[in-house]
């Protein structure tokens, strides 16, 4: 709405009135808006539905994440905020392992007349998805993403959170640390690794071993086996999410290793996975429900023209939750 208004030289409210067929706009302004819509590449169908009032909000939710616990919290947050705002949600699920939906599914979503789109990680950083949405000039909000052109990004400070949790491991006396990376295509994975290394560099005599995962439980199993086969093995393993940390605990139990007596394990997210195993995980709490709700709220404000287009990045607070999976060495 803001882009069309700027192109036409009128206010966003005038654009809204023209597109929704409301009175109070002169013929010259109506013509200018029509020319701007054509110049910016909107189709009449998409424009008429995208630039609606908040009472008529239709929000697309595109998601695909290997962590069922994360997605449960994410969708709960979106549903709760949508209920408060009276927004209609249209869900589009991607492929397994965080793969994007088929192009036809995205085109169908756009043709349905959504006002904007919320992207769950890792799809907020998927070139295939972003290219289609940018072409349609749809407002976007991406949860857990970093510096996505044209989108509002809502996240925590992953680097700081990982640094604080790694410091906790070091303060407990651990000097052989394993780290399991998340999806290599997500900026959050690199940020968490950077935080881990930042803490390690501040301590003397710390040995590190890194294994690649993709945020799935299955990848955590393979990564845990790799780390625990090392000589000497780590005394503490930091997995980049709770699902992979749960996999580490599973492998440790299979090897008859006591957690945390012989192996300390920590995770990230603080989803239900962190408390449905024994021992419950020490982890980083990122408020997934709140992140999702905040994304929808900011997106609604952007669509209505309330939120300035310059709003690009919203960082919420995190917290270290200490439970029973950590022990002093």
Spatial distance between the Cα atoms of 133 and 36, rounded to a whole number of angstroms: 19
| Confidence at residue 53, expressed as pLDDT on a 0 to 100 scale | 43
What is the SS3 assignment for 111? helix
* Contact call for residues 45 and 115 (beta carbons, < 8 A): no
Average pLDDT over residues 9-32: 75
Mean pLDDT of the chain: 90
Out of 129-133, 183-187, 250-254, 302-306, pick the least confident. 302-306
| Confidence at residue 3, expressed as pLDDT on a 0 to 100 scale | 81
Q: Residue for token digits 């399991």?
A: 180
CA trace torsion 315, 284, 161, 126 (10° rounding):
-60
DSSP single-letter state for residue 102? P
pLDDT band at 307 (very low <50, low <70, confident <90, very high): low
| Confidence at residue 24, expressed as pLDDT on a 0 to 100 scale | 65
Pick from 304, 297, 326: nearest CA to 78:
297
Cis bond leading into 325, ω under 30°? no
Out of 71-75, 92-96, 174-178, 191-195, pick the least confident. 92-96
Tokens (6 digits) for 98: 């965080």
What is the SS3 assignment for 139? coil
Spatial distance between the Cα atoms of 267 and 165, rounded to a whole number of angstroms: 9
Residue 131 has pLDDT above 80, yes or no: yes
Spatial distance between the Cα atoms of 316 and 169, rounded to a whole number of angstroms: 24
Cis bond leading into 190, ω under 30°? no
Distances (CA, A) of 188 to 49, 157, 218, 319: 33, 9, 20, 16
> How do residues 229-264 score in pLDDT, each as one tens digit?
999 999 999 999 999 999 999 999 999 999 999 999
| Confidence at residue 21, expressed as pLDDT on a 0 to 100 scale | 60
User: How many angstroms from the chain centroid is the CA of residue 106?
Assistant: 19
> How do residues 39-77 score in pLDDT, each as one tens digit?
876 554 444 444 444 446 899 999 988 788 899 999 999
pLDDT band at 22 (very low <50, low <70, confident <90, very high): low
Could you tell me where the beta strands, DSSP code E, fall in 23-150?
Answer: 58-63, 88-93, 116-119, 140-143
Spatial distance between the Cα atoms of 64 and 43, rounded to a whole number of angstroms: 28
Q: Taking phi first (over 0 means left), then psi (-120 to 50 degrees means alpha), and beta for anything else, what does residue 87 get?
A: beta
| Confidence at residue 148, expressed as pLDDT on a 0 to 100 scale | 92
**How many percent of the chain have pLDDT more than 90?**
71
| Confidence at residue 11, expressed as pLDDT on a 0 to 100 scale | 80
In what order do the strands lie in the sheet containing 264-269? 207-212, 176-181, 236-239, 264-269, 282-285, 319-321
């Amino acid at each position: 709405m803001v882009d069309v208004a700027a192109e036409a030289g009128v206010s966003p409210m005038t654009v809204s009135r023209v597109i929704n067929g409301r009175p109070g706009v002169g013929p010259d302004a109506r013509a200018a808006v029509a020319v701007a819509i054509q110049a910016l590449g909107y189709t009449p169908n998409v424009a008429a539905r995208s630039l609606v009032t908040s009472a008529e909000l239709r929000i697309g939710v595109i998601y695909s994440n290997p962590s069922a616990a994360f997605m449960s919290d994410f969708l709960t947050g979106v549903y709760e905020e949508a209920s408060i705002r009276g927004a209609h949600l249209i869900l589009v699920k991607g492929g397994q392992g965080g793969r994007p939906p088929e192009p036809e599914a995205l085109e169908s979503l756009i043709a349905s007349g959504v006002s904007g789109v919320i992207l769950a990680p890792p799809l907020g950083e998927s070139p295939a998805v972003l290219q289609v949405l940018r072409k349609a000039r749809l407002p976007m909000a991406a949860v857990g993403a970093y510096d996505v052109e044209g989108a509002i990004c809502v996240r925590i400070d992953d680097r700081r959170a990982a640094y604080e949790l790694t410091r906790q491991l070091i303060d407990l006396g651990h000097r052989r640390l394993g780290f399991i990376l998340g999806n290599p295509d997500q900026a959050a994975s690199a940020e968490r690794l950077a935080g881990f290394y930042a803490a390690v560099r501040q301590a003397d005599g710390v040995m590190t071993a890194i294994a690649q995962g993709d945020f799935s439980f299955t990848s955590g199993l393979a990564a845990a086996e790799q780390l625990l086969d090392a000589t000497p093995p780590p005394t503490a393993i930091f997995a980049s999410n709770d699902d992979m940390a749960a996999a580490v605990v599973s492998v440790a139990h299979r090897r008859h290793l006591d957690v945390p007596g012989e192996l300390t394990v920590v995770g990230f997210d603080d989803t239900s996975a962190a408390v449905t195993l024994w021992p419950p995980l020490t982890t980083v709490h990122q408020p997934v429900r709140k992140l999702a709700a905040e994304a929808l709220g900011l997106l609604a404000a952007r669509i209505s023209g309330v939120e300035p287009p310059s709003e690009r990045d919203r960082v919420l607070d995190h917290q270290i939750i200490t439970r029973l999976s950590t022990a002093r060495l």
